[in-house]
Amino acid sequence: MSNKTNNLRSVEIRNIMSLAMKPDIISFAGGMPDNNLLPVQDIDRIYHSLTLREKQTAMQYSPTSGLPSLLQSLHNYLKEKGFPLKENKLLITTGSTQAINILTKYFVNPNDPILVENPCFIGALSAFDSYQANIISIPLNEDGIDIEYLNNQLKKQKPKFIYLTPNFHNPAGILYSYKTKEKLIEKLQGLDIPIIEDDVYNELFFFEEDKKHLKSIKEINPEGIDVCYTGSFSKLLGPGLRLGWLLVPNHIYEECEIIKQSFDACSPSFTQVIADKFLRSGYVYNYIDKVKKEYRKRAKAMEKALKKHFPDYAKWVTPRGGFYFWIELPKNIDVTEVLKKSIEKGAVFVTGKTFDPEGKINNAFRISYSNSSIEKINEGIPIIAEAIKEVCEDISCT
Amino acid sequence: MSNKTNNLRSVEIRNIMSLAMKPDIISFAGGMPDNNLLPVQDIDRIYHSLTLREKQTAMQYSPTSGLPSLLQSLHNYLKEKGFPLKENKLLITTGSTQAINILTKYFVNPNDPILVENPCFIGALSAFDSYQANIISIPLNEDGIDIEYLNNQLKKQKPKFIYLTPNFHNPAGILYSYKTKEKLIEKLQGLDIPIIEDDVYNELFFFEEDKKHLKSIKEINPEGIDVCYTGSFSKLLGPGLRLGWLLVPNHIYEECEIIKQSFDACSPSFTQVIADKFLRSGYVYNYIDKVKKEYRKRAKAMEKALKKHFPDYAKWVTPRGGFYFWIELPKNIDVTEVLKKSIEKGAVFVTGKTFDPEGKINNAFRISYSNSSIEKINEGIPIIAEAIKEVCEDISCT
């Protein structure tokens, strides 16, 4: 039974979703791929290639751990990327949201402290709330979590885990530097604090030269730290398939599978059959290549528009992958006011306090370029710019 | 974090699934539809009829409550059957297992008492365990729950809910009489104890004359009792779609949606699009008609084989729908021994203690006819009969 914070957070998510889906408004609110970029033709080809037996498999129960052929193809896919598959086990989940929920149920009893970034992915916060975790947040810098702040917090309590999104953070848009990842690992050595590493955007990098920084903590494979890694097909293939995965140390795996079993018995076989073929056929590589080029173009167009229309006091870190710009305004601005005016004018985004575990900090907001054409970006950014300026007219905004 | 009972129960489920899927053994273990009966051609027709926009919808997020068009078609489907839709709200879930889990999270805190039937669906027991419910079980008679026993239990404590499967019980195979349903409703009047009514087999009735008894408690719509109804597409269309639903009173709905959101954000849009078309096209009616005739034939064949091969001391209630025979043997027989011998000889089923909330009673077992041809039934039943007789050779079994 959830508490009030959780209710508010959930109502917020619902509001975002419904605003993001309104047809008569330009929406930078949703963290989803553009409908026009979804690999519909690949899926058609895959469906047509299915044998009768594969279609039957698609309509039948699968093992709780996942469809064996998908587990195999995903294993190969991750192995090729350099993930340590020997000392870890894969569990197919119903989206990465379920993966995070499973881990929270595994680790957290009511009032247990956990550490998260600030800002933080709202879907994860919602899961943490639902188990009555005591959420403690650590600020993010441009190159990752604030190590000093983390250090101070670790002196105060031992958290059940630390939840991180090091690559193309939602909503902050940043990429942790490799150095920050190293420092973090060093800091956690010997402390017996597991990491939940949420890494659903890692394929969507814009620059080859970032590959070193992109190496996930799971891939770095630090000895003595339990890294519970969550991945997703939502950004790789389509959220409507509702498929993600957990890659966790062997000693954590079994209990996770048991929790998953009581949640929904198994993930949809229908979409598991499709995801398996998507990996095996190699369609996945062309598709990622295509979409990340497109997202890069959009990010570039959005930054150009931001530079042209936004006032100088609006600050951001240029995203190097993923879906988001995170815009920071002077501390005395209430972004909720900006949003109100912006909606009146026809553009919508998500306010910063949505992603603040304490629900307070509200001089920032998230705008997503993943779901809007360049045309819509050029139309929508000036609207938000105007809204910001109007709110700032009466107060000192420098 | 689950307790030991839950671990054992989950290992049991996994064992059943893996035995049920072994190719070299005749399996009466799985509670799943036969692969050969799945509506593959209907799904082909549906997939080919999808527009580009529908395919995009299939691959995108849907609202947490469910895809609007599926909510509408399911609403109409249930309304036509006579369900009270006005004072209740529908939530699409990732299988009915998720529906049960959501309700358990909603109602139960650790050590809260709940009432269930004995025997009881193991998937539900697994969810109840995972929230550390204090599970109290009430025996089943041929025509439903033992009202006298229930009455005594209600004097001892007020449970958070009572979980029931009145129509074609899994595993007991029985159908509650209308009279038992009436008595139950009368008993619960004014007690403020909600019912979770698990009704996934109700379409699979063999005899038109049973329709009166089949009326669900939700349809009866007793005033003053919160009935939380769970349904499923698993038996209607295919378990691999992972779709079920909750129909709950308005005042319970919102919190359930919030819990669902933190579980997996939304159910698979891909299969929701298909299920929607399956209802709208009317394929569902022909399909149910076809499979229930087939299941009836198999049940008949199985009973014939049971009468021919099983010893007189084996007792059962002839199923009038659903998937299962529940066989009771004399109290001094340990069915685990029968299962061991039966597996050696090449046939598998599920032991009774799996479905006993206390994990003790083990002179009964479940055999499913849903997943085996008549040929396999005629081959497998004599094997189990032989195993029973061998175990009984050394002990007095009358």
Give the residue ranges of chain B where pLDDT is below 50.
Answer: 1-5
Please tell me whether residue B246 adopts helix, strand or coil conformation: strand
**What is the residue-wise DSSP string for B184-232?**
HHHHHTTS---EEEE-TTTT-BS-GGGHHHH--HHHH--TT--EEEEEE
- Residue A105 contacts B, CB cutoff 8 Å: yes
* Helical segments of chain B, H only: 4-20, 40-49, 52-59, 68-81, 95-107, 122-130, 147-156, 178-188, 211-214, 217-220, 250-264, 269-280, 283-309, 335-345, 374-393
Phi, psi of B328 (to 5 degrees): -110, 135
Q: How far apart are CA B273 and CA B267, in angstroms?
A: 11
- Secondary structure tally for chain A: helices H, strands E: 15, 13
Check: CB of residue A242 under 8 Å from CB of residue A270.
Answer: no
Q: How far apart are CA B230 and CA B99, in angstroms?
A: 6
- Residue A265 contacts B, CB cutoff 8 Å: yes
- Which segments of A47-188 are extended strands (E)? 88-93, 113-118, 134-141, 144-145, 162-164
Q: Evaluate the omega torsion of the peptide bond into residue B171 and state whether it is cis, within 30 degrees of 0.
A: yes
- Residue B7 contacts A, CB cutoff 8 Å: yes
Q: Which of A9, A35, A59, A287 to mutate to test the interface with B (most CBs of B within 10 A)?
A: A59
> What stretch(es) of chain B map to CATH 3.40.640.10?
40-283
> What stretch(es) of chain A map to CATH 3.90.1150.10?
4-39+285-393
**Of the partner residues A60, A238, A255, the one whose CB lies closest to the CB of residue B60:** A238
Q: Tell me what pLDDT residue B2 has.
A: 39
| A51, closest residue in chain B (CA to CA) | B40
* Residue that the structure tokens 């109100």 belong to: A340
B268 and A10 in contact by Cβ < 8 A? no
Q: Which residue, B320, B370, B74, B81, is CA-closest to B213?
A: B320
A2 and B98 in contact by Cβ < 8 A? no
- Residue A268 contacts B, CB cutoff 8 Å: yes
Q: How far is B389 from chain A (nearest CA, A)?
A: 33
B271 and A271 in contact by Cβ < 8 A? yes
Which pairs count as long-range contacts for B281-284, CB under 8 Å and 24+ apart, including other chains? B281/B42, B281/B45, B281/B46, B283/B39, B283/B42, B283/B45, B283/B46, B284/B77, B284/B236, B284/B237
- Residue B3 contacts A, CB cutoff 8 Å: no
Q: Which residues pair with B116 in a beta bridge?
A: B137, B163
- Residue A27 contacts B, CB cutoff 8 Å: no
Percent of chain A as helix, strand, coil, to the nearest 5: 50, 15, 35
Q: How far is A140 from chain B (nearest CA, A)?
A: 24
Q: How far is A214 from chain B (nearest CA, A)?
A: 26
| B58, closest residue in chain A (CA to CA) | A240
Q: How far apart are CA A391 and CA A173, in angstroms?
A: 25
Q: How far apart are CA B368 and CA B256, in angstroms?
A: 32
Q: Which residue, B45, B47, B13, is CA-closest to B32?
A: B13
- Residue B220 contacts A, CB cutoff 8 Å: no
Residues of chain B with Cβ-Cβ distance to A47 below 8 Å are 47
For residue B144, count other CB atoms closer than 10 A to its CB. Answer: 23
* Residue that the structure tokens 């078609």 belong to: B73
Task: Enter the DSSP assignment of B395.
Answer: S
- Residue B46 contacts A, CB cutoff 8 Å: no
User: Cα torsion at A117, A123, A124, A125 (round to 10°)?
Assistant: 70
Q: What angle do CA A77, A82, A88 make, to 5 degrees?
A: 80
B59 and A237 in contact by Cβ < 8 A? yes
For residue B277, count other CB atoms closer than 10 A to its CB. Answer: 22
Please tell me whether residue A186 adopts helix, strand or coil conformation: helix
- Which segments of chain A are extended strands (E)? 26-27, 88-93, 113-118, 134-141, 144-145, 162-164, 195-198, 227-232, 244-249, 324-328, 347-348, 350-351, 364-368
**Of the partner residues B30, B60, B264, the one whose CB lies closest to the CB of residue A32:** B60
Per-residue pLDDT tens listing for chain A (398 residues): 434 445 677 777 777 777 777 778 999 998 999 999 999 999 999 999 999 999 999 999 999 999 999 999 999 999 999 999 999 999 999 999 999 999 999 999 999 999 999 999 999 999 999 999 999 999 999 999 999 999 999 999 999 999 999 999 999 999 999 999 999 999 999 999 999 999 999 999 999 999 999 999 999 999 999 999 999 999 889 999 999 999 999 999 999 999 999 999 999 999 999 999 999 999 999 999 999 999 999 999 999 999 999 999 999 999 999 999 999 999 999 999 999 999 999 999 999 999 999 988 899 999 999 999 999 999 999 999 999 999 988 677 76
- Residue A31 contacts B, CB cutoff 8 Å: no
Q: Tell me what pLDDT residue A6 has.
A: 59
| B100, closest residue in chain A (CA to CA) | A263
Residues of chain B with Cβ-Cβ distance to A262 below 8 Å are 2, 6, 10, 97, 101, 123, 126-127, 129-130
**In CATH, A4-39+285-393 is 1.10.10.10:** no
Check: CB of residue A339 under 8 Å from CB of residue A27.
Answer: no
CA of A196: how far to CAs of A139, A142, A158, A162, A266, in Å? 17, 20, 15, 6, 22
Q: Tell me what pLDDT residue A23 has.
A: 76
Check: CB of residue A138 under 8 Å from CB of residue A291.
Answer: no
B268 and A242 in contact by Cβ < 8 A? yes
B270 and A267 in contact by Cβ < 8 A? no
Q: Which of A3, A64, A258 to mutate to test the interface with B (most CBs of B within 10 A)?
A: A258
**Of the partner residues B240, B261, B264, the one whose CB lies closest to the CB of residue A270:** B240
Q: Tell me what pLDDT residue B4 has.
A: 46
- Residue B160 contacts A, CB cutoff 8 Å: no
CA B188 to chain centre: 23
Q: Tell me what pLDDT residue A185 has.
A: 98
A242 and B266 in contact by Cβ < 8 A? yes
Phi-psi sector, B133: left (phi>0), alpha (psi -120 to 50), beta: beta
Contacts with A, B 173-212, CB within 8 Å: none
Q: Which amino acid is residue B308, in one-letter code?
A: K
Task: Enter the DSSP assignment of A319.
Answer: P
Q: How far apart are CA A13 and CA A33, in angstroms?
A: 17
Report strand pairing: B350-351 vs B364-368: antiparallel
pLDDT in tens, A238-270: 999 999 999 999 999 999 999 999 999 999 999
Q: Tell me what pLDDT residue B7 has.
A: 67
* Residue that the structure tokens 């247990």 belong to: A112
Q: How far apart are CA A32 and CA B271, in angstroms?
A: 19
Phi, psi of A30 (to 5 degrees): -80, 140
Q: How far is B359 from chain A (nearest CA, A)?
A: 18
Check: CB of residue A233 under 8 Å from CB of residue A241.
Answer: yes
Residues of chain A with Cβ-Cβ distance to B238 below 8 Å are 58-60, 270
Q: How far apart are CA A184 and CA A115, in angstroms?
A: 13
B240 and A58 in contact by Cβ < 8 A? yes
Q: In this structure, what token pair is assigned to residue B11?
A: 């290992």
- Residue A250 contacts B, CB cutoff 8 Å: no
**What is the residue-wise DSSP string for B275-308?**
HHHHHHTSHHHHHHHHHHHHHHHHHHHHHHHHHH
Q: How far apart are CA B194 and CA B249, in angstroms?
A: 10
Cβ burial of A281 (10 Å; 0-12, 13-18, 19+) is middle
Q: Which of B258, B269, B287 to mutate to test the interface with A (most CBs of A within 10 A)?
A: B258
Q: Tell me what pLDDT residue B3 has.
A: 44
B269 and A240 in contact by Cβ < 8 A? yes
Q: Which residue, B97, B160, B149, B92, is CA-closest to B126?
A: B97
**Of the partner residues A238, A240, A267, the one whose CB lies closest to the CB of residue B242:** A267
- Residue B77 contacts A, CB cutoff 8 Å: no
Q: How far is B243 from chain A (nearest CA, A)?
A: 8
Q: Which amino acid is residue A297, in one-letter code?
A: K
Q: Which of B49, B59, B198 to mutate to test the interface with A (most CBs of A within 10 A)?
A: B59
Check: CB of residue A241 under 8 Å from CB of residue A93.
Answer: no
Contacts with A, B 270-329, CB within 8 Å: 270-271, 274
Give domain A68-283's CATH number out of 3.30.1280.10, 3.40.50.2000, 3.40.640.10, 3.40.1360.10.
3.40.640.10
Q: Which residue, A144, A173, A100, is CA-closest to A366?
A: A173
| A55, closest residue in chain B (CA to CA) | B40
B270 and A269 in contact by Cβ < 8 A? no
| A16, closest residue in chain B (CA to CA) | B63
Q: How far is B78 from chain A (nearest CA, A)?
A: 23
How many CA atoms lie less than 13 Å away from A359 in the CB half-sphere? 11
> What is the value of pTM for the model shown?
0.96
Q: What angle do CA A305, A306, A312 make, to 5 degrees?
A: 135
- Which segments of A143-213 are extended strands (E)? 144-145, 162-164, 195-198
A-B C-beta contacts closer than 8 Å = 211
Element (H or E) spanning B366, and its range? strand B364-368
- Which segments of A270-319 are extended strands (E)? none
Strand order in the sheet with A364-368: A324-328, A364-368, A350-351
Please provide the CATH number assigned to the domain covering B40-283. 3.40.640.10
Q: How far apart are CA B395 and CA B332, in angstroms?
A: 8
| B97, closest residue in chain A (CA to CA) | A264
Q: Tell me what pLDDT residue B150 has.
A: 98
Check: CB of residue A221 under 8 Å from CB of residue A185.
Answer: no
Q: In this structure, what token pair is assigned to residue A192?
A: 């017996």
Q: How far is B337 from chain A (nearest CA, A)?
A: 26
How many CA atoms lie less than 13 Å away from B144 in the CB half-sphere? 23
Rounded to a whole number of angstroms, the CA Rg of chain B reads 21
A242 and B267 in contact by Cβ < 8 A? yes
- Residue A396 contacts B, CB cutoff 8 Å: no
Residues of chain A with Cβ-Cβ distance to B17 below 8 Å are 61, 63-64
B242 and A268 in contact by Cβ < 8 A? yes
